[in-house]
Structure 1
Amino acid sequence: MAPYEALYRKRCMTPLCWLKPREDLTLGTEVVQQTTEKVELIQERMRIAHSKQYSYQDKTRKDLEFEAGDHVFLRVTPWTGYIHDPPHVIELDNIQVKENLTYEILPLRIEDRRTKHLRGKEIPLVKVIWGGASGQDATWELESQIRVAYPSLFESGKFWGQNF
């Protein structure tokens, strides 16, 4: 059997092999034997790799069980005339995603102010209320950075009863 046939189990029908079927090739039996052994080794290793991949797939697959009334997310391709049940539809938040797959949460208001004393320095901080998809979060930020990034928050009436 020719090396190509041993590897692919069919005759070579491409211009890469210029031999006609049943044409004798003057190769030593040692070369043919070595090639056949290498092809068999490659096939065996491919079977082992396939078996390992298949076993990994089975380990990561989980059978899921649901009960009546459970809420689940489904990926559905809309059809023409697709009728949905409004109580089961979850509205998505309007989030503007940037090209680097991040999104910006904008500040709603400044709720409080304090000064932190650190090694003889006074660091002015403001408590910022952020609005986002998950509701509202509050963080303490450097007042100087917030003034530069969001100057409109320091206009009269925007800060929790105080003017700056």
Structure 2
Amino acid sequence: YADPKRRDVEFDTSDSVFLKVTPRCGVTRFGVKGKLAPRYIGPFEIAERIGPVAYRLNLPAQLGHVHNVFHVSILKKYMPDPSHVIQYVHVQIQKDASYEDQLVRLLARELKVFRNKEILLVKVL
């Protein structure tokens, strides 16, 4: 069965798009852990269309080790708004397009004691 509300996504060359970042379990993204963390970085300009569902992006030198051809399902059209831009300069992206955020400062530490276990709660910046 087909989805009657499905729409084909197409981009033109020189359009700007966001790139979806692969989430990792337990990894802090851009200083925020969990479901409130941003899931897209960019915007990046589309260089060319490779096939019906693949696009080549103009990536900066910092992302040179990442393959620059992406499926349309991990691209999102950029609507110009300065608050949407995530700075990728501070992010170290691995070859599999994942990243890990570094600890800046330890703000608070608390030990929760339950009946049969203890959990250390740490607040980081």
TM-score (norm 2): 0.31
Relative contact order higher in (CA < 8 Å, ≥ 6 apart): 2
Larger relative helix fraction? 1
Give 1 or 2 for the bigger CA radius of gyration: 1
Larger relative strand fraction? 2
TM-score (norm 1): 0.25
